[in-house]
Amino acid sequence: MILVEFLPHLSHLTAVRFITGFLLAALVCLGELSAQAAHTRASLVLGAETARPGGTVLAGVRLQIDPHWHIYWRNPGASGMPTSIEWQLPAGVSAGPIQWPLPQKLPDQDLTTYIYKDEVVLLVPLKLASSLPPGPIDLKAKVSWLECDQQCVPGSAQVQAGLSIGAESKLSSDAALLAAWQKQLPLDGSGLSAHAWWEKAAVDNLRPLMLEWTSVQDAADADFFPDASESVEVQPATERVPAPSREIILRKEVKKFSGDWPARVSGVLVQQSGGQRLGYEVGLPVELTRPALSRQAGSETAAPDTGGLRRPLWEMLLYAVLGGLILNVMPCVLPVISLKVLGFVGQAKDHPRRVRTMGLIYGLGIEASFLVLAGVTIGLKAAGHQIGWGFQFTNPEFLVVLTVLMMLVALNLFGLFEVNLGSNALDAAGTLASKGGAGGAFMNGVLATALATPCTAPFLGAALGFAFAQSGPLKGVALTDPAFVHSAAVIILFFLTVGAGLAAPYAVLSWQPAWLKFLPRPGPWMQRFKVAMGFPMLATAVWLMSLLPLHYGKRTLWFGLFLVTVGLAAWVYGEFVQRGRARRGLGLAVALALAVGGYAYMLEGQLRWRSPITENTQTAELKESPEGIDWQPWDPSAIRQAQAESRPVLVDFTADWCLTCQANKRVAIEVPSVRRKLKELNAVALLADYTRQPDAMTAELNRFSRAGVPLVLVYPKRQEESPIVLPEVLTPGVVLAALDRAGK
């Protein structure tokens, strides 16, 4: 009794050491007395009477405990001692680790422990060597435990059982008992998609740990029984965070005694489902922030449709091909596609072998570009960044370079200048894309890829979302680790598959030259068509430039002036150097002075293009017009609050650089019928601006099996119902139908 009263005043480690020392002393002093006074009876049972050499026999240490008494699990908790088994086995027999059935949690006013009551069978596999001779063998073990009621008493017993080694195996009368206890072992938790992360920074020696997993059925109760550790203690108190049906999120407090905060936690996830108590053995890496594929604690009130993650690989690869095919008719890619069609017209009378070669080189340009994108994606994921489709369009330097390139392509199509292969690489790229030959075919593929990424075609979002989800986190994973190799392979496979879909129509047309007869015959109209195609390219440059104020603010004006200067330099070069006959050297000097001077003064000095604004300083209202939708910034708490008030919610994940998003908004969302329906339902409209790709939104997109925008969600007014995920391309009817369903 003195020991029990004294223990609550000790720290965890001190108490453990004190108990251990006390028990050792007690075992020495009490000896046989402790065994005779034990409230627990131990015996050894085997799953077989006869076993073959080289096989495995399941053994069980059966512990029958008196009423009101208990013994301890492998992690006893705040006090106690785990049961131990010391085997005395003949040569040729070796014991595996103890398999612990799921214990009970005993909360006490001062101490919480993990215990067994009434009866438990600790299971141990015994491996038999193939060299064991036939005949009987004796299996012995010393079992030690600590049994507690109002007081704690150490106990021990010597147990033994006989086994025959023979040519055939024969089950014992205790096989059914062992099979029943096998069903009470924790299951393998690798299929739960469980995650662990630190909720926030530590305060002194305490830090909150979040645990999350998805259950196959609703769970009435859930907990986490941790493994023991000398450096930290996972506190017994458990907080269940509100989450959608079949999703479990727990908050546990971790107390550190020494060393660093653990990078991994292990133990058993426990849940009560359908009248059955289940346990799942897990070992989880602890992320510094919430993993991308898990749900932010309490961020939503209904489970998303993540069926895409459960679809077979072949189906998602088919989606990737279809998405790549559809990209060919998306507005982002049309300017380049027009040039490619023009190229096919020009090749109509070429030798079939040359036509096939050009088609293959075009496809090679696309695949090479997608391979580069895959490599960048893998590198950024390995650095710990959240990555989504079109991530490069959040990079202001990329936008500057691509805008200049698009303008040079347009000026070249207008005929202001011609660039040879020996000229500046950037200018050559623009020129090659508008010319024929292998270089032109390859650069057409590169430009098609560059302009395709801000668009998300139907099927493409689900396919890439599946790829990013299956690839898993790469931060901190070694390059030689199988997990890294698998993740990288999945990303590369899906990117190349999308590229194959984008290139497929032209590869097929190249290998079927007879189909080219359906195209118009070459003639003077081609030159006019080429000039006409300069205007879509110029419009593309204007659109790209419209994305820059977010990164450079009012300084963007200097970039516009730089483009004018570059245009003037291109005209001087074409008029006085390429087509002129006198003073060509002076013309070249003037063109270079304009280009270099404009870059130095306007791009470097005034725009400071390599030093974009790091913070979003936009404060404009989200409401676009007096009669427009009253948009509010996206916030998970706003969804919870609206549903608490029985109001449906419309969420639009969009970005300035996503043309599909802007088209959806103009055609299917910001229209009178949808505005009226939102007012009629008293719905809340939330706008999630993904232009800068904030990590929280990337994680939310991944949660809905999407790799990028657009994503439009409609949350029903009832919290228990799942959000409705709308398709990538919308019509007013699709949005109205979802709102009607959400308002019921």
What average pLDDT does the structure give for the chain? 79
Burial grade of 729 (CB within 10 A; 0-12, 13-18, 19 or more): middle
Q: Which helix (H) or strand (E) holds 479?
A: none
pLDDT of residue 431: 46
- The CATH number of 632-743 is 3.40.30.10
What's the CA gap between 516 and 701, in Å, rounded? 42
CATH architecture for segment(s) 188-298: Sandwich (2.60)
Query: Do the domains 2-183 and 188-298 sit in the same CATH topology, yes or no?
Result: yes
Region 710-723 average pLDDT: 86
pLDDT of amino acid 30: 42
Domain 2-183 fold is Immunoglobulin-like (2.60.40)
Res 345 pLDDT > 80: no
Task: Say what the pLDDT of residue 604 is.
Answer: 93
**E-assigned strands of 149-275?**
152-165, 170-171, 187-188, 195-198, 206-214, 221-226, 232-241, 247-256, 264-273
pLDDT band of 716, cuts 50, 70, 90: very high
Task: Give the model confidence (pLDDT) of 420-439 as tens digits.
Answer: 433 343 344 444 444 456 77
How far is CA 491 from each of CA 381, 465, 470, 510, rounded to the nearest angstrom?
11, 10, 9, 28
Task: Give pLDDT, residue 7.
Answer: 43
Element (H, E) at 420: none
| pLDDT, mean of residues 484-497 | 83
> Is the pLDDT at 488 greater than 90, yes or no?
no
Of all residues in the chain, what percent carry a pLDDT higher than 90? 33
- Enumerate the domain spans of the chain: 2-183, 188-298, 313-399+418-533, 632-743
Distance, C-alpha 111 to centroid of its chain? 38
Instruction: Provide the pLDDT confidence category of residue 667 given band limits of 50, 70 and 90.
Output: very high
> Is the entire prediction scored with pTM above 0.75?
no
Q: Which of 64-73, 304-313, 436-445, 642-651 has the highest mean pLDDT?
A: 64-73
Structure tokens at 46: 């085997």
For residue 77, with 0-12 CB atoms within 10 Å meaning exposed, 13-18 middle and 19 or more buried, which class applies? Answer: buried
> What b/e string do you get for 345-376 counting C-beta neighbours within 10 Å, with b at 16 or more?
bebeebeeeebbebbbbbbbbbbebbeebbee
How confident is the model at residue 181, as a pLDDT?
93
How many Å from the N-terminal Cα to the C-terminal Cα in the chain? 63
Confidence of residue 463 (pLDDT cuts 50, 70, 90): low
Q: Kindly list the distances between the CA atom of residue 467 and the CA atoms of 324, 456, 464, 487, 488, in Å, as whole numbers in the listed order.
A: 15, 15, 5, 9, 10
For Cα atoms 214, 220, 226, give the angle at the middle one, nearest 5 degrees: 65
